[in-house]
Amino acid sequence: MDNNHNVTELHKLENPLNELLKQGAQQLLTQAIEAEV
């Protein structure tokens, strides 16, 4: 039971983290592309 609860909490944390990572990666890509132009 405790184990399951921890997994659920992890998933709740993972979603915003993943969104931040995606946004950060996109920004880095955009900056890299702009720097090359």
- pLDDT at 16 exceeding the cut of 60: yes
Q: Which two tokens stand for residue 12?
A: 């709740």
Q: Which residue has the higher pLDDT, 26 or 11?
A: 26
Residues in the chain: 37
Distance between CA atoms of 22 and 25, rounded to whole angstroms?
A: 5
Mapping DSSP to helix (H, G, I), strand (E, B) and coil, where does residue 31 land?
Answer: helix
Q: What is the pTM of this model?
A: 0.56
> Residue 1 — very low, low, confident or very high, per pLDDT cuts 50/70/90?
low
Q: Which two tokens stand for residue 3?
A: 């184990």
Rounded mean pLDDT, 5-31: 91
